[in-house]
C-alpha cells in the first residue's frame, strides 16, 4: 500500500491486519509504479527463499535504494503483522541498521569516451591477426571491479544459494596437472587441480574452474544482494579498463613484463592472491589485468575485428572471449589487446565484474 493524496496507508495497513489479514505493509511515501513492482518482486523473492518477514522487507527496501535513490531516506515501509499480543511491528530503517551485503566490490570508475582497441603491428610485433585492425571505440561510463572475483566471494554466493557449478555437476574441469593441461576428474572451483587440492588457504586468490553459466549465476545473485546491476564486462569494456586511452601494449606501459608486474610464464606455477603485484596496475588503478588468470567477458568470439559487433550475444552456450593471460602463458598473452576464446571450466580462467553507469 503506497500513500496517495490524503490516504494514510500505514493506518490502513494496520486496520487490515486488525480485520484479520495476517500481514500488510504500509508505505509512508509515494512510489512510482515501476519501483513498487521492484519492491514487491524483491519482497516475494526473499520470502520464497525462506527469509523472515522483517528481513524480507529490509531486502526489498534495499531494492528501493536502487530504484529511487532520491527518495530512499523518506520512503518508509512499515510491516504490520498479527502477533499473539496484537503488537504492530515497525521495520527498522536507519541506513546503518541495514545488514551488510554478503559480497562487495571495490569499484573503479571508467569515464565515458573513446579508446584504441586492438593492435597495430607496426608498434606491437607480437600482435595476433585476431587483434586486427586497430580501431577507435567509444564507450559510456561504467564501473569495474579493481580485482577479479575471489574464491571467498564465490563461496559466499554458493553458501547463500546452494549453487552447483558445471564442473561439479560434470565431475571434471580442464586443469594443469603439474606437467600438462588435461581434463581432471574431481576438479572444480573448490579443488582446482583435482580432489587432492583445495582452496581453503586461497580465499584471496581468483576463483577458477567456472563456466560462463556459473558466472551469470553469480552476477544475478550479486545484483540482488547489492541492489545494483552486476555483470560481466564486454570485451571492449575490459580492454579500455586495462590499457586506458593511449594504446599502450601492457597495463603499465610498453615495457616488457617482469615477475614484479604480473604472474605469468609459470613464474609461480599457480594463481596468486589478487592485487599482489601493484607494479602491474593500469592507468585507472586496476590490478591483475595481466596474468594470474584469464578473465571472461560477455562478448561472443569472432576471429578478428573486420566484422566485429560490440553488442553481446545472449546465447549462453556461445564461445566467448577471454582476456589478460594467466600464470601459465608467456608474455605475448598478457598484452592488453590479446584475445582468446574459452567455453570450458579451466583452471586458469576466472572473471571480474562491472556495473554500468555511475
Residues of the chain with CATH 3.90.1580.10: 107-356
Question: In sequence order, what are the beta bridge partners of 117?
Answer: 135
Vertex 315: Cα angle to 312 and 321 (nearest 5): 50
Give me the residue label for grid cell 602463458. 329
DSSP state of 206: B
- CA angle 295–282–342, rounded 5-degree value: 15
Q: What is the pLDDT of residue 248?
A: 96
CB 222 within 8 A of CB 230: yes
Determine how β-strand 76-81 pairs with β-strand 294-300: unpaired
Whether 336 contacts 133, CB under 8 Å: no
ω into residue 27 within 30 of 0, thus cis? Answer: no
C-alpha cell at 172: 571434471
Q: How far apart are CA 271 and CA 60, in angstroms?
A: 38
- CA atoms of 28 and 25, how far apart (whole Å): 10
**Which 8-state DSSP code applies to residue 44?**
H
Q: What pLDDT does 90 receive?
A: 42
Closest CA to 282 of 119, 108, 158, 124: 108
Q: Which cell numbers in the block locate residue 92?
A: 527498522
Contact 343, 317 (CB under 8 A): yes
Nearest to 270 by CA among 242, 291, 296: 291
- The 10 Å Cβ neighbour count of residue 37 is 12
CB atoms within 10 A of CB 231: 19
Q: CA 221 to CA 174: how far, in whole Å?
A: 25
Question: Which helix (H) or strand (E) covers residue 65, if one does?
Answer: helix 53-67
The pLDDT of residue 102: 82
> Is 287:277 a contact under the CB 8 Å cutoff?
yes
CATH of domain 107-356: 3.90.1580.10
Given the DSSP bridges, would you call strands 349-350 and 294-300 parallel, antiparallel or unpaired?
A: parallel
Shortest CA distance to 211 belongs to which of 296, 273, 115? 296
Cα–Cα distance, 93 to 335 (Å, whole number): 48
- Please give the model's pTM, rounded to 2 decimal places: 0.72
Cell 569499484 belongs to: 107
Q: How far is the C-alpha of 56 from the C-alpha of 53, rounded, in Å?
A: 5
How far apart (Å, rounded) are the C-alpha atoms in residues 44 and 41? 5
3-class DSSP state of 26: strand
Partners of 110 in the β-ladder: 142
CA separation, residue 330 to residues 159, 164, 278, 335, 338 (Å):
36, 32, 19, 10, 12
pLDDT of 92 reads: 46
Residue spans of the chain under pLDDT 50: 2-8, 70-74, 84-98
Amino acid at each position: 500500500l503506497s500513500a496517495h493524496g490524503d490516504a494514510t496507508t500505514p493506518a490502513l495497513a494496520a486496520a487490515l491486519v486488525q480485520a484479520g489479514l495476517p500481514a500488510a505493509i504500509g508505505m509512508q511515501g509515494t512510489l512510482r509504479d515501476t519501483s513498487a513492482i521492484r519492491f514487491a518482486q524483491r519482497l516475494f523473492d526473499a520470502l520464497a527463499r525462506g527469509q523472515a518477514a522483517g528481513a524480507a522487507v529490509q531486502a526489498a527496501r534495499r531494492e528501493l535504494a536502487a530504484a529511487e535513490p532520491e527518495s530512499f531516506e523518506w520512503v518508509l515501509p512499515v510491516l504490520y503483522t498479527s502477533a499473539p499480543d496484537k503488537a504492530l511491528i515497525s521495520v527498522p530503517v536507519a541506513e546503518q541498521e541495514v545488514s551488510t551485503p554478503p559480497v562487495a566490490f571495490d569499484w573503479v570508475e571508467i569515464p565515458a569516451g573513446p579508446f584504441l582497441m586492438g593492435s597495430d603491428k607496426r608498434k606491437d610485433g607480437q600482435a595476433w591477426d585476431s587483434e586486427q585492425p586497430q580501431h577507435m571505440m567509444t564507450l559510456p561510463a561504467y564501473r569495474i571491479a579493481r580485482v577479479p572475483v575471489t574464491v571467498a566471494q564465490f563461496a559466499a554466493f554458493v553458501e547463500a544459494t546452494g549453487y552447483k557449478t558445471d564442473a561439479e555437476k560434470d565431475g571434471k574441469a580442464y586443469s594443469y596437472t603439474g606437467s600438462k593441461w588435461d581434463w581432471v576428474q574431481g576438479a572444480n572451483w573448490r579443488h582446482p587441480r583435482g580432489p587432492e587440492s583445495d582452496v581453503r588457504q586461497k580465499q584471496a586468490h581468483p576463483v577458477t574452474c567456472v563456466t560462463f553459466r556459473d558466472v551469470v549465476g553469480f552476477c544475478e545473485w550479486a545484483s540482488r544482494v547489492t541492489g545494483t546491476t552486476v555483470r560481466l564486462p564486454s570485451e571492449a569494456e575490459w580492454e579500455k579498463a586495462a590499457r586506458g586511452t593511449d594504446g599502450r601494449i601492457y597495463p603499465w606501459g610498453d615495457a616488457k613484463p617482469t615477475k614484479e608486474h604480473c604472474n605469468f610464464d609459470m613464474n609461480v606455477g599457480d594463481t596468486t592472491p589478487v592485487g599482489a603485484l601493484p607494479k602491474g596496475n593500469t592507468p585507472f588503478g586496476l590490478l591483475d589485468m595481466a596474468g594470474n588468470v584469464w578473465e571472461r567477458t560477455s562478448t561472443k568470439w569472432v576471429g578478428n575485428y573486420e566484422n566485429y559487433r560490440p553488442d553481446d550475444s545472449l546465447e549462453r552456450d556461445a564461445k566467448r572471449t577471454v582476456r589478460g593471460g594467466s600464470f601459465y602463458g608467456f608474455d605475448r598473452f598478457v598484452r592488453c589487446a590479446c584475445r582468446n576464446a574459452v567455453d570450458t571450466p579451466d583452471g586458469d580462467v576466472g572473471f571480474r565484474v562491472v556495473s554500468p553507469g555511475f
